[in-house]
């Protein structure tokens, strides 16, 4: 995915968060993550990416 595609995905997520409202933003993000994990079709990889997101809160690129 190139930077422009990543920006489009980021914008869609931000719009979804705004539309969900503050009281449902966590539910929206959880649903989006689960749908993306299902589409990925690799539970082990999904768990690796979740762990990476937890330890890398300073940017969008995976930590080394």
Q: How many domains in the chain? A: 1
Give domain status of residue 61, yes or no. Answer: no
Residue of 56 and 14 predicted with greater confidence: 14
Please report, for residues 3, 16, 17, 18, 27, the alpha-carbon distance to residue 44 in angstroms, rounded to integers and kept in the order given: 25, 26, 27, 30, 22
Question: In this structure, are residues 20 and 28 in contact, taking their beta carbons and an 8 Å threshold?
Answer: yes
pLDDT over 60 (residue 42): yes
Give domain status of residue 47, yes or no. Answer: yes
The pLDDT assigned to 57 comes to 80
Give domain status of residue 60, yes or no. Answer: no
Give domain status of residue 18, yes or no. Answer: yes
pLDDT over 70 (residue 1): yes
Terminal Cα-to-Cα distance of the chain (whole angstroms): 19
pTM greater than 0.85 (yes/no): no
Its domain, for residue 22, covers: 3-55
Give domain status of residue 64, yes or no. Answer: no
Q: Provide the token pair at 3.
A: 């930077």
Give domain status of residue 62, yes or no. Answer: no
pLDDT over 70 (residue 3): yes
């Amino acid at each position: 995915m190139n930077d422009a595609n990543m920006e489009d995905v980021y914008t869609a997520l931000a719009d979804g968060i705004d539309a969900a409202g503050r009281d449902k933003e966590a539910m929206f993000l959880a649903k989006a993550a689960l749908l993306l994990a299902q589409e990925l079709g690799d539970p082990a990889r999904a768990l690796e990416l979740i762990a990476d997101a937890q330890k890398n809160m300073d940017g969008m690129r995976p930590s080394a």
